[in-house]
Structure 1
Amino acid sequence: MTLSASSRVNLERFWSTIERSAEIGKGREGGLSRLALSDADKEIRDVFVAWCREAGLSVSVDQVGNIFGRREGQDNSLPPVLMGSHLDTQANGGRFDGIVGVLGALETVRTLNDLGHVTRRPIEIVNWTNEEGARFSPPMLASGCFAGTYPLDWAHKRPSDDGATFGEELRRIGYLGEAPVGSRELDAYFELHIEQGPVLDAEKVQVGVVTHAYTSYGFLAEFKGETAHAGPCAMDLRRNALIAAARLLVTVDDLGWDYAATGGKSTGSRLVAWPNKAGIISDWAQAICDVRHDDPRAAAAMAERVRRAIGEAAARAGCSVEILDSWNWGGAIFDPELVSGIRRQAASLGYTHRDLPSQAGHDAYFLARVCPTAMIFTPCRDGITHNNNELATREDIEPGLNVLLHSVIARADRQGVL
């Protein structure tokens, strides 16, 4: 085989990796529950590393468990072109979210091997740790560390509900690597992903060219009150942390409806409390919420209303409150040259395509802070995701795979520094 405009990935081989991945960490029927640094995550990591080595890649693991597979280029003094996503899932996750991006990157390398083509620049593929944030908060933790947003020690101390910390679990499953986190030059980063929205599927468009990201703000708030007997404790004496957290989440949901007509969204995603039992008032609670909007100014206004709501919820319930963590990402973050290149490749390959924003969070958001970055979307049925009914077919994904292949080759083979 030789490299040409007609070169395509091996779809059957790619699909076999998807099916193998779907056997690891099964959740509800048809779905996955492969939380970060769980035993199931270790199993898929081991399989992925084996696949990388079989493809002739050298494998390294950094200190937050990110796995890199490197394919040498003609000039290895040049920074590599990186592509990938994540293999961890939500508690009720699907078979494609993140996984398509990692295994699509692997298939790109395998196709280059088939073609016997060595790119000018090296190519690397990556599995980012804990993108979902389902076990360790915040989401995109390890790519955030790679970008220098989160300190390494802070990341290692992030707790899970079962009491383990991020660093302890990395060590337990054997993926506390030695490679430094970040601190190296990248030529570019590409991430292939299912859309996680209904637009491509509804319009029967094959490829999404991601132009920008919704601006998002997230918060982890901790409320502290006092336990008391639910019967005799007078209402004016109560300091119910659970109620404070619940009031916040209801307010956040109402806020989303205020902005719904212009595409704004808000989510109360988590509430935990202690003792959280009948007959007793809870003296501790945590809540996680987020807001997002395509207009950065509207998103900032929504975030400010959440900050006020946190204080108001605590005061009304007679509790104290602390914002333990907050995060912000999105906006006009993707590289115009890479975006234009993806658009050209989709057109030259004969695929229908359209521009659209990313509404979910992705590791690409942090990579955009350190190198030119772009995303490619493939359709998913009815936009259903973070759900065991998440569905994409081979035919849905194949165009995006081939656009990734040709976009990466074009970037890695270009002459000059820029």
Structure 2
Amino acid sequence: MRIDIDRDRLVETMEDQAEIGGTEGGGLHRLALSDTDREVRDWFVDRAADAGLDVRVDAFGNTFARREGADPDAEPLLVGSHLDSQPYGGIYDGALGVVAALEFVRTLNDRAIETRRPVEVVNWTNEEGSRFPPAMQGSGVWAGAHDIEAEYEKTDADGTRLLDELERIGYHGDEPAEPREPYHAYLELHPEQGPFLEETGADVGIVTGIVGLRWADITLHGQANHTGTTPMNYREDALVAASDIVTAIRRLPGTLGDRTVATVGSLTVQPNSVNTVPETVTLTTDIRDPDEAVLDEGVARMEAEVAAAADREGIEYEIEHTMASPTVDFPDRPVEAVADAVDHLGYDGRRMVSGAGHDATHAAAVCGAAMVFSVSEGGKSHTEDEFTSWPDCYRSSNVLANAALDLAEPIVD
């Protein structure tokens, strides 16, 4: 059985959600547990209710909207993504996956299609991690990767506690933040966030797995002093050591693997004065690769580079490992459901591994999972310039809908 979603309704719904937290630059500023996040959560609940779905909210704010199946004992299919955004990010990242999942169940309703399995549409809490670390937080709590009480105590840059914000916006639900039953599979649609599909001329990505990643915070402790009166050989300059580390991390992937990437994405300097030797520098490192052994080697080399840079400048340092997300290989059944949908619809698909982390990382620990990627023009993401054309949104959403229908098992008379 093939279904075709309503393209105009998909576009209208995407434009509707994009108005909530929309920016002058055409992007989104919809941080987790903010007022705009509350508004879009309310919007999602209303749209789900309009589609006849039963909504429940768990203790971490993850929101599930259920369409019952014909078999009350069948394991449900879970499909969705997230509605929070990066600071001044794009309108597609996360939101396209939630809207496409909604459009899937709307299409089932339009055509009066009954499925053997229940279908649940999910909006995960704080996938981005840009306000409250870490990323993929809600799905991580749900899957048991994070302790909920520890995550409740996380704070943002202003010192605001996560639990307080969850309660303030009205999404601290009563249901335990854990799977309430076994799940059959999880599907997620997301923009690729990279250039591969566009470069190869493909219509859609068939995601076979997700790279692992390792994040760390590094703090360098030098000695503040007057720049005019302190001889160079007397200096303990934290920024000089940090500069060596930044360069070393940039060069690191070339010594490891073809798929390795490494980044210093954040750096702060204190006291940050033109005529004072920098005393304290904090910076972050982000290393990713599909191979766990390569990741471990990358972390070891990063630590060695930090130690060497600090020793050259005669300063102290600390390394805090803040996030370790494992590599994920999706099982054959859900991946083949996506591949079959691509073939059935006559699209040009490419099998690929995701270079970004997604909620599917954690969901895959609970049940079989797979992902669909839409084309990201220019490979841009986490910016207002992120762009996926409406035809590409339609194609990828159609693939999601047909793969989901296969896994939900339609009842055919």
C-alpha RMSD of the superposition: 2.4
The reply to whether residue 218 of structure 1 matches residue 219 of structure 2 is: no
Output one character per residue of 1:314-359: Cα deviation in whole Å (capped at 9) or x when no partner.
4444444333333233534211111112111211222221211111
1:138 aligns with 2:123: no
Residue 205 of structure 1 is matched in structure 2 by: 202
Query: Of residues 26, 32, 43 in structure 1, which corresponds to 2:28?
Result: 32
Mapped partners of 1:155, 1:93: distance in 2 = 24
Q: Distance in 2 between matches of 1:336 and 1:213?
A: 14
CA distance in 1, matches of 2:315, 2:136: 31
1:149 to 138, 145, 150: 145
Q: Aligned partner of 1:89: which letter?
A: S
Q: What does the per-residue CA deviation read over 1:118-158, in whole Å, with 9 as the maximum and x for residues that have no partner?
A: 32111111111221121122211221112211111221222
Q: Is the 8 A contact 1:333 1:365 kept in 2?
A: no
CA gap 1:46/1:277 in 2 versus in 1, 3 angstroms: farther
Among 94, 101, 104, the alignment partner of 1:105 is 101
Cα distance in 2 between the residues matched to 1:182 and 1:403: 28
Q: Is the 8 A contact 2:330 2:368 kept in 1?
A: yes
- The 1:284–1:59 alpha-carbon spacing in structure 2 relative to 1, beyond 3 Å, is farther
Shift of 1:230: 4.3
AA of the residue aligned to 2:217: L
TM-score by length of 1: 0.90
In structure 2, the residue matched to 1:394 is 390
Q: 1:186 to 1:91 in 2, by over 3 A?
A: same
Q: Which runs of 5+ in 1 are unaligned?
A: none
Change (3 A) 1:277 1:118: farther
Deviation at 1:389, TM superposition (A): 1.4
| 2:85 paired residue number | 89
**2:63, 2:123 within 8 Å by CA — same for their partners in 1?**
yes
Shift of 1:284: 4.1
Q: Answer yes or no: is 1:189 the counterpart of 2:173.
A: no
Q: Rate the CA distance shift 1:193–1:311 in 2: closer, same or farther, 3 A.
A: same
- CA deviations on 1:289-315 (whole Å, 9 max, x unpaired) are 111234443333222211223333444
1:11 to 7, 11, 14: 7
Secondary structure of 2:335's match?
helix
Tell me, in whole angstroms, the C-alpha distance in 2 between the residues paired with 1:28 and 1:91: 13
Q: Specify the SS of the correspondent of 2:329.
A: coil
1:11-40 per-residue CA deviation (whole Å, 9 max, x = no partner) reads: 111111111122122335121222222222
Q: Is the 8 A contact 2:10 2:394 kept in 1?
A: no
**Which residue of the partner structure matches residue 277 of structure 1?**
273
* Counterpart mapping for 1:268-347 below 5 A: 268-347=264-343
Deviation, structure 1 residue 401 = 1.3
SS of equivalent to 2:367: coil
Question: What is the alpha-carbon distance in structure 2 between the residues aligned to residue 81 and residue 334 of structure 1?
Answer: 15
1:124 is aligned to 120
> Residues 172-204 of structure 1, C-alpha deviation per residue, up to 9 Å, x if partnerless?
222222221114322210001111122222333
Counterpart in the other structure of 2:408: 412
Q: Deviations over 1:25-70 (max 9, x none)?
A: 2335121222222222222112111111111122222222212111
Deviation at 1:213, TM superposition (A): 2.2
Task: Check conservation: 1:256, 1:267, Cα contact below 8 A.
Answer: no
Contact 2:113-2:410 within 8 A present in 1 as well: no
- 1:85: how far off? 1.0
Residues 370-379 or 314-323, more deviating: 314-323
* TM-score using structure 2 length: 0.91
| CA–CA separation in structure 1 for the residues paired with 2:239 and 2:67 | 52
Q: 1:23 to 1:203 in 2, by over 3 A?
A: same
Stretch of structure 1 that moved more, 132-141 or 283-292? 283-292
Contact kept? 1:246, 1:271, Cα under 8 Å: no
Q: Counterpart in 2 of 1:75?
A: 71
1:90-131 deviation per Cα after TM superposition (whole angstroms, max 9, x unaligned): 223111111111111111111111122232111111111221
Equivalent AA in structure 1 for residue 19 of structure 2 = E
Please tell me the residue identity of whatever aligns with 1:74: A
Kept in 1: contact 2:81–2:359 (CA 8 A): yes
Q: For the structure 1 residues 241 and 164, does the alpha-carbon distance in structure 2 shift closer, same or farther, using more than 3 Å as the test?
A: farther
1:264-298 CA-to-partner distances (Å, cap 9, x unmatched) read 21111111344433444555443221112344433
Tell me the distance in 2 between the aligned counterparts of 1:398 and 1:382. 19
Whole-angstrom distance in 2 between the partners of 1:372 and 1:165: 33
- 1:235-274 matches, within 5 Å, as 238-259=235-256, 262-274=258-270
CA offsets per residue over residues 370-391 of structure 1, 9 Å max, x none?
Answer: 2101001111212222221111
SS in 2 for 1:150: coil
Q: 1:148 to 1:32 in 2, by over 3 A?
A: same
Size of the alignment, in residue pairs?
410
Amino acid at match of 1:153: E
